[in-house]
Amino acid sequence: MTASMQPISGHLQRKHVVPTTSSAAEVKLHHTYRPDGLVEFVPSGLHPVYELIQVSEKKWRDKLERSSRTLKEAVEEYRRRYHRMPPKDFDKWWRYVVQHKVQLPDEYDQIYHDLEPFWGMSPAFIQEQQHIWEKDGEVGSFTLANEDHRVFLAGHSVTGDEEGTRIARERAADQLRLLEEVQQWLPDFRATFTAHDVPYQFIGYDLRSEAVYHAAISEYMDKDSVAEFQNHQRGWSYACPQTSPLRKHNFSATFESSELWEAPKTFIHDHKASMDPCQHVAHVHLNGFLSSREEGPVLRKNMVPAFSICSTRLHSDILTVAMDMWTESVAEDPEWKDKKHDKLLWRGRNTGMLFKEDGKWEDSQRARLVGIANSFYGHVYVLDSASSSTESVISPHSAPLDLLNEKMMDIGFSGEAIQCEPAACEELENTFTYKDATTFVDGNGWSARFKRLITSNSLVFKSTIFPEWYTDRIQPWVHYIPIKNDFTDLYDVFTFFHGDVDGNNSHDDIAERIARQGKEWSLTFWRKEDMVAYTFRLFLEYARVMSRDREAATFRWEDVKG
């Protein structure tokens, strides 16, 4: 299987409780909120974590309160967001949502983002591209079809090894299980997936934006128009606007990750925006999936409707639900007051890229995390944990890494070195101590164990550049803690909850509340019914954009029965 950088999901477990406050009123902003998803710390303001929690709580309340309550409201909200009527049988989808108590019925912007470019291309052209992709797709693809309201596996390609073939078949079966419950209401379609845990489709920003423009004016790009973008440009930057930082980045210049720790302190306020490598150049150097391809791959010539369970902001895959390691329920975890550990715990394999002897694997996400969390040398500048929500925070202070790590971190690789050339494997095992494994260890791609962690009465820290199907349906700082991909905010955020190395000024009650809210979210917003509802709506939308008569495949009030 192709390697990618695994999002890091760690969790904090604390024992004691310290009183604190959390205002539910309108939040007065002290810090600078940037459009790239980060908030820049301004000295003498409210502690940024206090502020981020309050801002996020308000966002979550507002999102819940404005949710559609009736089919009429849902149709009107759809038209407001996407400037067209919903797909045919939207009422049947709504009936499923109501019967199964699916919440946030308007939050499906990811589907719109993934499918919108195809509205700027003719259905005949897209069908032709789908046929080519199905017939000649990469090793490890599979196709699902729905005919006469029966969904089935229409074909798959072998992956070249027994394990890869097993995973591909399991992932095809996962998608079938999500579709079978609603197949009676789905129109005919053929959809081809990559079975790998990394994205497939990398096209240029110019082609994608031109397709979206044609969609906005209700026109189609013809083959000749698409062909104008068929060049041999290479590089991640070509998936970005010309004015973006990554498009202007000089890949031949030396990149030093240590310099990131000297920049002004920033924290995440919009997790999805913070994942965008176009705006955050460091991602292409600090994420193994991106950095292992150096400046990036050659652009694909055509845009095909390629489904994937993992994508980035640089790719144009149609994101679907990943079922790997999803669990209906988990064993009972200790109540917060009974938890014995007060450190950030993480275990995982040294995956994320192929570790080569001459590669820059030291900058890969996992190697950096394990490296800094086990360092006995150097120092970092850390914001003090404010004693209350009214106390101003002046500036960070210098703190020795060895003491911070001893008191706060329990992080390490598990098992033995894998996914590495022999010399690199030896260097990895000489550099890092491989600790005993825990259950549900992360592998490649997105964070497959996030479901297990967020249901465990623990405060989950998550660092990723991979948006997921539920990203618009969960709220950072309310249900989990977002951490930057470069980890420069890790000690500041952890100190806020943990307190200093002696536990002074901890905010254990806030940590307990977020842990509880995370578990409640998992049990009420991430059920099988929620995944089915997403998949149901995705394939109603997909079938319409692939239909040669899109008007006939559009929702009309006169077709509603009952």
Among 314, 345, 363, which residue's Cα sits nearest to residue 203?
314
Q: Are 533 and 114 in contact (CB under 8 A)?
A: no
* DSSP run (H or E) holding 344: strand 344-348
| Residue 368 is assigned to a structural domain of this protein | yes
d(CA 368, CA 365): 5
At a CB cut-off of 8 Å and minimum separation 6, what does 332 contact?
Answer: none
Q: What is the pLDDT of residue 437?
A: 66
DSSP 8-state code for residue 336:
G
Please tell me the total number of residues recorded for the chain in this structure: 562
- The DSSP result for 286-314, as a single string, is H-HHHHTTTT-PBPPSS---EEES---TT
DSSP states of 169-221: HHHHHHHHHHHHTTGGGPPPEEEEEE-SSS------HHHHHHHHHHHHTT--B
Q: Determine the angle formed by the axes of helices 90-99 and 71-82, rounding to 10 degrees.
A: 120
Q: Which residues contact 130 (CB under 8 A, 6 or more apart)?
A: 190, 191, 192, 304, 305, 546
Q: Which amino acid is at 122?
A: S
**Structural domains of the chain, count:** 1
Query: What local confidence, expressed as pLDDT, does residue 19 receive?
Result: 32
- Taking a C-beta distance cutoff of 8 angstroms, is the pair 352, 366 a contact? yes
Residue reference for tokens 């502020």? 51
Closest by Cα among 406, 395, 208, 413 to 315 = 208
Is 440 part of any domain?
Answer: yes
Q: Which of 518, 220, 294, 489 is nearest to 372 (CA)?
A: 489
What sign for the dihedral angle of Cα 208, 210, 212, 215?
Answer: negative
Segments of the chain with pLDDT less than 50? 1-7, 11-25, 440-444
Whether 493 and 386 have beta carbons less than 8 Å apart is answered as: no
Please check whether residue 176 is in contact with residue 321, taking contact to mean a CB–CB distance below 8 angstroms: no
User: Residue 76 domain-assigned?
Assistant: no
- Packing angle, helices 123-136 and 528-546, rounded to 10: 120
pLDDT at position 9: 52
Residue 147 parent element (H or E)? strand 141-147
Report d(CA 95, CA 184) in Å as an integer.
Answer: 13
**Residue 543 tokens, joined:** 């079938």
For the stretch 189-219, pLDDT in tens is 999 999 888 899 999 999 999 999 999 999 9
What pLDDT score was predicted for residue 13?
44
105, part of any domain:
no
The whole-number pLDDT of residue 348 equals 83
Query: Taking the chain, what is the end-to-end CA distance rounded to the nearest angstrom?
Result: 49
Q: How many angstroms separate the CA atoms of 351 and 364, rounded?
A: 9
Task: Give domain status of residue 300, yes or no.
Answer: no
Q: How far apart are CA 466 and CA 324, in angstroms?
A: 15
Q: Cβ(387)–Cβ(503) under 8 Å?
A: no
Pick the closest to residue 273 from 38, 505, 55, 24 (CA basis). 38
Residue 232 belongs to some domain of the structure: no
**8 A C-beta contact, residue 442 and residue 369:** no
C-alpha to C-alpha distances, 533 to 96, 105, 470, nearest whole angstrom: 7, 9, 11
* CA proximity to 336, closest of 70, 515, 528: 515
Q: Which long-range contacts (CB under 8 A, 24 or more apart) does 452-455 make?
A: 452/325, 452/327, 452/330, 453/9, 453/11, 454/479, 454/480, 454/518, 454/519, 454/521, 454/522, 455/327, 455/329, 455/330, 455/518, 455/519, 455/522, 455/523
Parallel, antiparallel, or unpaired: how do β-strands 318-319 and 306-308 relate?
A: parallel
The whole-number pLDDT of residue 430 equals: 81
- The DSSP call for residue 527 is S
Q: CA 114 to CA 306: how far, in whole Å?
A: 10
Tokens of 270: 């919009």
Tokens representing residue 118 in the block: 């195809």
Look at residue 397 and give its three-state secondary structure.
strand
238 occurs within a structural domain: no
Q: In the numeric block, which tokens belong to residue 132?
A: 């080519």
Helix or strand or coil: residue 60? helix
Considering the entire predicted model, what is its pTM? 0.92
Task: Name the packing angle between helices 90-99 and 528-546 (round to 10°).
Answer: 180
**How confident is the model at residue 158, as a pLDDT?**
67
pLDDT tens for 396-445 read 999 999 999 999 999 988 888 888 888 888 888 888 878 776 654 444 45
Asked whether 515 and 10 are in contact (CB, 8 A), the reply is no
**Residue 380 placed within a domain:** yes
> What range does the domain containing 491 cover?
8-14+332-525
Picking from 159, 136, 142, the residue whose alpha carbon sits closest to that of residue 194 is 142
Residues 521/168, Cβ–Cβ less than 8 Å:
no
